[in-house]
Amino acid sequence: MPSVEAEVEKPAAQGAAMEITVSRQELVKELTATQSVVERKTTIPILSNFLIEADEERLSITATDLDQAIHTSTAVKVKKPGACTIPARKLYDYIKLLPDGEISIKLLENHWVQIRSGRSNTKMVGMARANYPQVPEFPTIAATSIPLASLRTLIARTIFAISNEESRYTLNGALLILKAESIAMVTTDGHRLSFVEKPAETLEGISGEKRVLIPRKALQELQLLLANSDAEKVEFADDEHTLFFRIGHRTLSSRKLTGQFPNFEAVMPRDNTKFAVVRAAELSAAIQRVAQFADERSGAIRMRLEDNELKVSANSTESGESEDTIDTPYSSEPIVVGFNSTYILDFLKALDNSGEVRLEFKDSQSAGQMRPEDPDAEYKYRYVLMPMRI
C-alpha cells in the first residue's frame, strides 16, 4: 500500500499559481463521492486533506487513508494548471453552503488556497502537495468488467454478515469469487454465513476461478459509489497488494485483505430435510413484534414448526413473553430451534421483505438455512444460521 514518503516535487505539481473555475454543483458531487474516505482523526495531518490537481481541462480530486483511496475528476476551466492540498472536511462543509454558480479556486503563497464565489471570498490553509502520499494507479492490464447491478446486489445481500471482531482478520471482509460464467460473494462472522451467486454472468478476462478478499471499509465505499452512479459496468483489476474498482470517472483502490477465508462450502447444510415456506413480510413483522420481549443481550427467539404452523416466540424475566403464529404447510415431526432475531431480520431486509422464503432445518442443534423460494430467481441466495440455546 502507499507509503507516506514525499514524492519528488514536480514544477507543475508545485502549482505556484494554480487557478481554476468550476461549477459548484459538480464540485459538491465529486467532493461527496470522496470525502467519506478521509480520516477524521489521523496522526498524519496530510491525510485530512484532499489532493486537488488541475491539468489542461479537468480537475482531479484524491482522498486516501493509506488503506484505501478514491480518485475522481470533473470538467473545469483551467487558467493555470497545478496542484494543492486542502483540508477535506472544511472544504466540503464550506462548498456545500455556497449558492449554485461558478467557484474560482486559486493557489496562493505558502500553500494557502483562495476560494471565491459571488461576493464570498475565503482563504484556507493548505499543505504542500509534495507531502501527499502516492496513490496506486489503475493497472493497464488484466481488468475485467462486472455488471454494476450484479455487484450492487451481491454486496447488499452479504455486507451485513461481515464480522466486527478485528481479531478475526480474514472475516473482516467479503470473498468475491469470479469465474468465466458466474460471480459470487460470501461473508461470515462465525455465527452466520451469507452466500449469493449470479450464475450465467459472462466475465471476460477470467479463466478458471479468481478469489479476492475485499475489506469491509472498501465494500462500504464501493456500495456508496455504486448507488450514486449511472454506469452499467464496473472495471475490476488487482495487483499483488491492491484491489481496483473503476466506476465511470471514479476509481476506488484498496489494499487486499491477506489470509485464508474459511472453507465456507464445508458449512453449507446438506441434510436440512424439514422445511417451511412463509411470506418474508409476514415473518419479518412477527419477529419484530416478538423480539421486543427477547433477552436484550442475546436477542434470541424460538421458532417452532408443527401441524401446519410456525410459532415464533420469545420471553425474558424483565419484559414478559410474546408469541406469533404463521400458517404454513408442514406435516413433518415437530422441531424447535433458537436463533438471533437480528440475524434473521438482516436477511429478510436484504430481500426487501418481499416474496416467500424457505426455512430449512435438520434438528435443534444444527445450522438452519434460509433462502428465497423462487426457482426462477436471477440470484442463488443461501443464508446459514447457527442455532442458539434457549
pTM of the model: 0.89
Residue 1 lies in a domain: no
Residue 184: how many other CB atoms lie within 10 Å: 21
Q: Which three cell numbers stand for residue 135?
A: 496513490
Predicted confidence at residue 165, as pLDDT, reads 79
Predicted confidence at residue 10, as pLDDT, reads 38
Residue 390 lies in a domain: no
Residue 372 lies in a domain: yes
Residues 159 and 257 in one domain: yes
Residues 281 and 381 in one domain: yes
CATH of the domain at 195: 3.10.150.10
Last residue of a domain, one of 104, 131, 158: 131
Residues 47 and 117 in one domain: yes
Residue 291 lies in a domain: yes
Residues 120 and 194 in one domain: no
Residues 149 and 104 in one domain: no
Residues 123 and 154 in one domain: no
Query: Taking 60 as the threshold, does the pLDDT of residue 375 lie above it?
Result: yes
**Sign (positive/negative) of CA torsion 224, 228, 232, 233?**
negative
Query: Taking 90 as the threshold, does the pLDDT of residue 119 lie above it?
Result: yes
Residue from 207, 238, 326 nearest 1 by CA: 238
Residue 6 lies in a domain: no
Residues 90 and 179 in one domain: no
> Rounded distance, CA 242 to CA 67, Å?
9
Report the share of the chain in percent with pLDDT over 90: 81
Residue 50 lies in a domain: yes
Residues 324 and 215 in one domain: no
Residues 148 and 102 in one domain: no
Query: Taking 50 as the threshold, does the pLDDT of residue 70 lie above it?
Result: yes
Mean pLDDT throughout 11-28?
77
Residues 39 and 107 in one domain: yes
> Rounded distance, CA 251 to CA 248, Å?
8
Residues 28 and 88 in one domain: yes
Residue 351 lies in a domain: yes
Last residue of a domain, one of 131, 159, 178: 131
> Rounded distance, CA 117 to CA 76, Å?
15
Per-residue model confidence as pLDDT tens digits over 129-176: 999 999 999 988 768 999 999 999 999 999 999 988 777 767 889 999
Predicted confidence at residue 16, as pLDDT, reads 53
Predicted confidence at residue 247, as pLDDT, reads 96
Query: Taking 80 as the threshold, does the pLDDT of residue 382 lie above it?
Result: yes
Q: Which three cell numbers stand for residue 221?
A: 465505499
> Rounded distance, CA 175 to CA 195, Å?
10
Residues 211 and 298 in one domain: no
> Rounded distance, CA 357 to CA 377, Å?
12
Question: How many domains are contained in the chain?
Answer: 3
Q: Is 180 exposed, middle or buried (0-12, 13-18, 19+ CB in 10 A)?
A: middle
Query: Taking 60 as the threshold, does the pLDDT of residue 2 lie above it?
Result: no
Least confident among 198-207, 224-233, 256-265: 198-207
Mean pLDDT throughout 192-210?
89
Predicted confidence at residue 42, as pLDDT, reads 81
Last residue of a domain, one of 205, 233, 264: 264
> Rounded distance, CA 77 to CA 19, Å?
9
Residue 112 lies in a domain: yes
Q: What residues make up the domain containing 238? A: 144-264
Is there a contact between 336 and 323 (Cβ–Cβ < 8 Å)?
Answer: no
